[in-house]
Amino acid sequence: MQMKPGRTLLTQAQICTRVRQLGKSITHHYRGKRPLFLGVMNGALFFLADLLRAVDLDHVEISCVRLASYAGTQSTGSLRGMVELEALGKSAAGRHVLIVDDILDTGRTLSALAARLKKLGAADVKICVLLKKRRAHEIAVKPDWAGFKIADQFVIGYGLDYDGRYRNLKQIRVLGKANGTDPSTSSG
């Protein structure tokens, strides 16, 4: 079945407003500290870039880790890329780490990452996600900051992909069937 971008769930303006609010709250929380923002690539690419510019702190650093658990629209249950994290160990030790990710779904990615960072000696690990799916998370992970709660559906755009495509859409949209009842009204 051919899939394509369907209805817009969140507009560019909605995302922008919310990212600014998150930036203010995160600024307030980390005032006087030197946090390390750890973006989970590739999905968090745009969110991390916008969030960082919405944060007003004297000393903030970024780093990225590349993790993947999805194939198509299905969570595979296994996490690829954790090995790479070991290399990050030294820079995370003793730091206040803020994990920045696009979406919290089953919670497998973020719980494994948070646990590994603590093992590597991070002083504190917090989580900020743009989206949180409203479903029973298989693994209990409570994000410290979450932009929007959404229904359990597959979404694309603003960094989120369907097998590598549609990350460049400016809005967040539902993935629809090419000949289905969820037609696209505009393009990214």
Q: Any contact of residue 5 with ligand IMP (CB under 6 A)?
A: no
Helix H or strand E segment including 53: helix 45-53
Site membership for ligand IMP, residue 50 (CB under 6 A): no
105 is catalytic: yes
Nearer to ligand IMP, 94 or 180 (CB): 180
Q: What is the DSSP string of the chain?
A: --EEEEEEEE-HHHHHHHHHHHHHHHHHHHTTS--EEEEEETTTHHHHHHHHHT---SS-EEEEEE-EEEETTEEEEEEE-HHHHHHHHHHHTT-EEEEEEEEESSSHHHHHHHHHHHHTT-SEEEEEEEEEE-S--SS----SEEEEEE-SS-EEBTTB-BTTB-TT-SSEEEEEETTSSS---S--
Which CB atom, from 160 or from 169, has the smaller least distance to ligand IMP?
160
To the nearest whole angstrom, how small is the minimum distance from the Cβ of residue 63 to ligand IMP? Answer: 16
- Looking only at the bridges linking them, the beta strands covering 36-41 and 96-104 are parallel
C-beta of 50 vs 102, nearer to ligand IMP = 102
- Using CB under 6 A, pick the residue from 5, 39, 107, 157 that binds ligand IMP: 107
Q: Is 158 in the site for ligand IMP (CB under 6 A)?
A: no
Our finding on whether 157 is near ligand IMP (CB under 6 A) is: no
Query: What is the rounded CA–CA span in Å between residue 88 and residue 93?
Result: 9
Which member of 23, 35, 39, 43 binds ligand IMP (CB under 6 A)? Answer: 43
Catalytic residue among 50, 101, 102, 105: 105
Tell me, by CB under 5 A, how many residues bind Mg ion: 1
Query: Binding residue for ligand IMP (CB under 6 A) from 30, 37, 46, 70?
Result: 70
Site of interaction with Mg ion (CB under 5 A): 43
Residues of this chain that interact with ligand IMP (CB under 6 A) are: 40, 43, 69-70, 75, 101-109, 154-156, 160-161
